[in-house]
């Protein structure tokens, strides 16, 4: 939903902070400096967006209520800017500041979007075939695997295997570390293996599934 649909406008293009990679430092006796260990994850970032709106004095509070409902609504939320339409941020949560009346009919407030540090590609959010996602030119990705078929199968990614009892359909979400059916029924007990081992690494990836099962992948391409 665009800001304008709820009666508010973005005052100015916000500054976007760069994410920081998570890392641990280990001190090794006899070695100069510390050993830095990166685990392929990044810290969240905070994006502050200032909104403004014009309203009749007796509708001032109503516009702000509608804006809060929009910004604090439930469900998956993406933050996307019109000057960068091919990418979006995954929003963790939003905090909203004070609604200031800068003039009799003008209001202004700031919303802070706490987002995953990576930018996600719009194209990476669509379902694709195995051959289309073998090569990852971006940052390490946490894909969603959609399997159809009947019985037990083995999903193998870069030499790592997850066993799955499919039962017509099964979705394996490596970002959420959860498995479920198409109707939303949880199916965590139907899989065995490590979700982290199914990530798509930078560069070439080997992906295969037991014969007789169909596999589609939402790669969730992302970059720093």
Q: What is the mean pLDDT of the chain?
A: 90
Q: What would the two tokens of residue 90 be?
A: 């995954």
* Mean pLDDT value across residues 163-176: 94
Residue 37 CA from chain centroid, whole number:
24
Give how far Cα 48 sits from Cα of 7, 17, 79, 137, Å: 19, 10, 11, 29
Q: What is the pLDDT of residues 172-190, one digit of tens each?
A: 999 999 999 999 999 999 9
Q: What is the pLDDT of residues 85-128, one digit of tens each?
A: 999 999 999 999 998 888 788 889 999 999 999 999 999 999 99
Measured distance between the N- and C-terminal CA atoms of the chain, rounded to whole angstroms: 25
pLDDT at position 38: 66
Q: What is the pTM of this model?
A: 0.83
Q: What is the pLDDT of residues 36-90, one digit of tens each?
A: 666 668 899 999 999 999 888 888 889 999 999 999 887 678 999 989 999 999 9
CA distance 55 to 141: 44
CB 198 within 8 A of CB 180: no
pLDDT at 159 over 70: yes
* Mean pLDDT value across residues 184-204: 95
DSSP class per residue in 124-140: GGS-B-HHHHSEE-SS-
pLDDT at position 25: 72
Please tell me which residue, 34 or 155, carries the higher pLDDT value. Answer: 155
pLDDT at position 29: 77
CA dihedral 142, 120, 48, 91 (to 10 degrees): -50
CB 92 within 8 A of CB 114: yes
Residue 43: CB partners within 8 Å, gap ≥ 6?
A: 19, 20, 21, 22, 117
CA distance 15 to 20: 16
């Amino acid at each position: 939903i665009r800001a304008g649909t709820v009666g508010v406008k973005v005052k100015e293009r916000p500054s976007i902070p760069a994410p920081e990679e998570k890392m641990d430092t280990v001190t090794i006796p006899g070695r100069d400096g510390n050993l830095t260990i990166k685990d392929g994850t990044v810290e969240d970032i905070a994006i502050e967006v200032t909104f403004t709106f014009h309203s009749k004095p007796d509708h001032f509070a109503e516009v702000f209520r509608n804006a809060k409902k929009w910004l604090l609504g439930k469900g998956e939320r993406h933050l996307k800017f019109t000057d960068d339409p091919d990418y979006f941020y995954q929003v963790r949560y939003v905090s909203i500041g004070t609604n200031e009346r800068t003039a009799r009919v003008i209001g202004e407030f700031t919303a802070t979007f706490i987002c995953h540090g990576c930018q996600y590609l719009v194209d990476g959010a669509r379902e694709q075939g195995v051959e289309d996602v073998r090569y990852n030119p971006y940052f390490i990705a946490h894909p969603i695997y959609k399997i159809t078929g009947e019985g037990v199968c083995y999903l193998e990614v870069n030499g790592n295997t997850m066993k799955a009892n499919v039962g017509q359909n099964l979705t394996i979400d490596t970002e959420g570390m959860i498995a479920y059916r198409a109707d939303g029924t949880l199916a965590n007990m139907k899989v065995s293996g490590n979700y982290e081992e199914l990530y798509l690494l930078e560069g070439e990836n080997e992906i295969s599934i037991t014969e007789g099962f169909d596999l589609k992948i939402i790669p969730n391409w992302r970059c720093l």
